Amino acid sequence: MRSLLILSFSDISADARVRKQVEAFSGRFEVTTCGYGPRPRGAHRHIALPEHTEVWRYSRRLLLTRRYALAYEQNEAIVAARKLLEGSAFDVIVANDVDAVPLALSLDPTYGVHADLHEFAPSQKSEMLRWRLFVAPFLAWICRRHVTRARSVTTVAAGIAEEYRRRFGITAEVVTNATPRADLVPTPTHRPLALVHSGACFRNRHLDLMLDAVQQSTTPLTLDLYLTPNDPVYLNELKVRADQTSNVRVHDAVPYDELVATLNDHDIGVFVLPPVNANYRWALPNKLFDFVQARLGVVIGPSPEMAAIVRAHGFGVVADDFSAASLTRIFDAMVPSDVEGFKDAADRAAASLSAEEQQRIWVEAVDRMLPSETTS
């Protein structure tokens, strides 16, 4: 079998998108993974990065003085990965996010590097002045100098692909963050209606908007939040506030393999993401597809990528804006028969919106990089 390295500065065993890459390629290649945490299921070999090395910790001094190549080479995570990968040879490398691309290129795989870009890197935190002044130019340098040399590129949404094309001339195919097909059916609609949200707990996601809307609604509702502790202070604020209500509960995140089944015992998945940066504007996150596989109706803000899918398949409602008041109006007008219709529509859409359909795009992209006789 040909050899393929999946390189990601994340805990691959818990990274839904990268885990799907392992699944897509493990039957076709001898797959080595390099990232944090334990060996993900499906990998033939795993190279574990030291937990204390974090790729986002670049030298401020070097970024300020725009010595970008040196900042990259001296990064502790890059140094550790390079040392651990020394002496290894691969036919193809799949590099996840822009930070991994220069290292992947330097390893000189036989047939090249495929870059999978999980967001529009230079705008990841563009609401922050220091990011715009110091980090964004560095990431733009990686895009211009290195990502443009990848043999093929994918990203998560059409809007982000357009940003890469417009800013850097990078042509990227879209592989959505679709969820693996789940063999579930819609559950009977609850009384009161059971709302749910799952995902990262970042203050700039304004998760408190959902609590505002639920508390203001005249419709009997419950809201369960399953959150990862990305911002412990903000998470605690949400827990304190939920404790003061009778219908909001904040839970620890559940393992990814258990998430869709947990969501299935609800009625409506909710996600309103104010577009505080370009990536939030074009967001098309895992959770939308998790909601579909859980056979839930969906209520979202007017984020273009998510809204297009919800409207095309008819499994939910798109709010007029990103305010709590707009959410409240939707909840106030919602009746059980609407919810049952949304859940049935999600059930009908589950197959076409599954990860299995999307993973083919990665496979086909890498196949195009190989000599024709190796893809037969």
Is 299 a member of any domain? Answer: yes
Six-digit token pair at 205?
């996601």
Six-digit token pair at 311?
């409207």
Same domain for 282 and 252? yes
Query: What pLDDT, on a 0 to 100 scale, did the predictor assign at position 373?
Result: 63
Is 239 a member of any domain? Answer: yes
Is 313 a member of any domain? Answer: yes
Domain around 228? 193-349
Which residues in the chain land under pLDDT 70?
126, 373-376
| CA 346/CA 358 separation, integer angstroms | 17
Same domain for 243 and 258? yes
Please provide the distance, in angstroms rounded to a whole number, between the alpha carbons at the two ends of the chain: 13
Same domain for 208 and 265? yes
Q: Give ∠ CA 163-199-25 in degrees, rounded to 5.
A: 65
CATH number, position 205: 3.40.50.2000
Is 187 a member of any domain? Answer: no
Summarize pLDDT for 112-125 with one digit per residue, the tens. Answer: 999 999 999 988 77
Q: How many domains does the chain have?
A: 2
| CA 20/CA 12 separation, integer angstroms | 10
Summarize pLDDT for 52-109 with one digit per residue, the tens. Answer: 999 989 999 999 999 999 999 999 999 999 999 999 999 999 999 999 999 999 999 9
Same domain for 42 and 94? yes
Same domain for 369 and 344? no
Is 184 a member of any domain? Answer: no
**Reported pTM:** 0.85
Region of 296 (left: φ > 0; alpha: ψ -120 to 50; beta: rest) is: beta
Query: What pLDDT, on a 0 to 100 scale, did the predictor assign at position 372?
Result: 80
Is 186 a member of any domain? Answer: no
Could you give the C-alpha distances from 218 to 193, 214, 215, in angstroms and in order?
12, 9, 8
Same domain for 172 and 242? no
Same domain for 82 and 197? no
Q: How far is CA 1 from the centre of its chain?
A: 30
Q: Does the bond joining 192 to the residue before it have cis omega, within 30 degrees of 0?
A: yes
Query: What pLDDT, on a 0 to 100 scale, did the predictor assign at position 327?
Result: 97
Is 183 a member of any domain? Answer: no
* In the chain, alpha helices (H): 16-25, 60-64, 68-74, 76-85, 100-106, 129-130, 136-145, 158-168, 208-216, 232-243, 256-264, 278-281, 286-293, 304-313, 324-333, 336-349, 355-369
Same domain for 263 and 295? yes
| CA 172/CA 154 separation, integer angstroms | 5
Same domain for 255 and 114? no
Same domain for 156 and 200? no
Same domain for 163 and 250? no
Query: What pLDDT, on a 0 to 100 scale, did the predictor assign at position 376?
Result: 44
| CA 260/CA 182 separation, integer angstroms | 8
Is 203 a member of any domain? Answer: yes
Same domain for 98 and 126? yes
